[in-house]
A and B are shown apart, each in its own frame.
Chain A
Amino acid sequence: MTEPRIDDRATWPAERDALLVREKAHTRAGGGIAAARRRLPMVEIDPAAAVVGPPGRGLEAMAPRHGLIARTDGRPTAQWSRLASGVGA
């Protein structure tokens, strides 16, 4: 790679602190988005929806907790390819 700027101990912290201000703003913005997510409306779903696997069958698997996070993994299909090609766009 091209030769980077090499700082001395006196100037490097100032460069890092300048970027840190932006990083902290981004962290706060993420907190704001999470707050908006907590205020999203909810949609009721059929609690009898079939989910097979330990420790049981159906959404009762989440009991006794109040929340459930489910991740669905898909096969690498044409949709996956489109997603991959759109990365960074």
Chain B
Amino acid sequence: MNVVSAQEWEAARAALLVREKAHTRARDALAAERRRMPWLLVEKDYAFDGPSGRVSLLELFEGRRQLVVYRAFFEPGVHGWPDHACTGCSLMADQVADVVHLHARDTTFAYASRAPQPDIARLKARMGWTMPWFTLTDDFDADFGVDEWHGTNVFLRDGDRVFRTYFVNARGDEALGSTWSYLDLTPLGRQEDWEDSPEGVVQTPAYAWWNWHDAY
């Protein structure tokens, strides 16, 4: 153990802080690059089962502009079934911020798994998870790189047209959970006026859009 005086510790911490701040700026720059990624038109119709029946990919947006879908493994044959979802996917679910903050930025968040809706409803109630969670019914998982492994897909809606704009998995998923982490994956970003975004993205001052989760 290298125990030092408070003064020496502050100096060591300040030196590392310089690297940490540079790392944060580099992260912002990557998010800016993602906002300039090309879009991929989704040409197939996809269907999901939800608490109120069958819905399309377009309907998953709930009228909002952006959609983030995390593919969680909860189905027969996956460790933990039927009492639990996959351990890693469950740990991820424990990190997900209240989705109302994403809604405030015109962004919808959802989980998707192969398990039927009654199993998903039971799992959510027991584990205390509240995010929308849909059942996959078709090739969505194979087509969007999440048939073998968890992953997060980002979509943008332009009228009735849907575009895939980004995808992360592996340790890319590990960094997710906060409202900001999800918005940083999206083509519109946090929509705050300090961001380097494509021309035409409507932005508001940083922090000004935040509210209490029961007050939006």
A interface residues (Cβ-Cβ under 8 A, vs B): 1-2, 4-9, 11-12, 15-16, 19, 22-24, 26-27, 29-30, 33, 36-37, 40-44, 84, 87-89
A12 to B115, CA, bound (A): 30
By beta carbon, the residue of chain B nearest A45 is B6
A89 to B147, CA, bound (A): 40
Contact A36 B167, beta carbon cutoff 8 Å: no
Contact B9 A4, beta carbon cutoff 8 Å: no
One of B29-37, B52-60, B102-110 at the interface: B29-37
Which chain B residues lie closer than 8 Å to A36 at the CB level? 16, 19
- Contact partner of B2 (CB less than 8 A), chosen from A1, A37, A41, is A41
B interface residues (Cβ-Cβ under 8 A, vs A): 1-6, 8-9, 12-13, 16, 19-20, 23, 26-28, 30, 33-34, 36-41, 163-164, 166-168, 171-172, 175, 187-188, 192, 194-195, 198-201, 206-207
In angstroms, how far is the closest chain A Cβ from the Cβ of B202?
A: 8
By beta carbon, the residue of chain B nearest A32 is B19
In angstroms, how far is the closest chain B Cβ from the Cβ of A1?
A: 3
Q: A7-B39, A41-B2 given. 4 additional CB < 8 A pairs? A: A4-B187, A19-B37, A37-B16, A42-B4
Contact B8 A1, beta carbon cutoff 8 Å: no
Contact B206 A2, beta carbon cutoff 8 Å: no
Which chain B residues lie closer than 8 Å to A89 at the CB level? 194
Shortest 6 CB-CB distances between A and B: which pairs? A88-B194, A1-B200, A43-B9, A5-B38, A7-B38, A41-B4
Contact A12 B23, beta carbon cutoff 8 Å: no
Listed A/B pairs (29) with beta-carbon separation below 8 Å? A1-B201, A2-B200, A4-B36, A4-B187, A4-B198, A6-B41, A7-B39, A7-B40, A11-B38, A12-B38, A12-B164, A15-B37, A16-B166, A16-B167, A19-B33, A19-B34, A23-B168, A26-B26, A26-B30, A29-B26, A33-B23, A40-B13, A41-B9, A42-B4, A43-B6, A43-B9, A88-B192, A88-B194, A88-B206
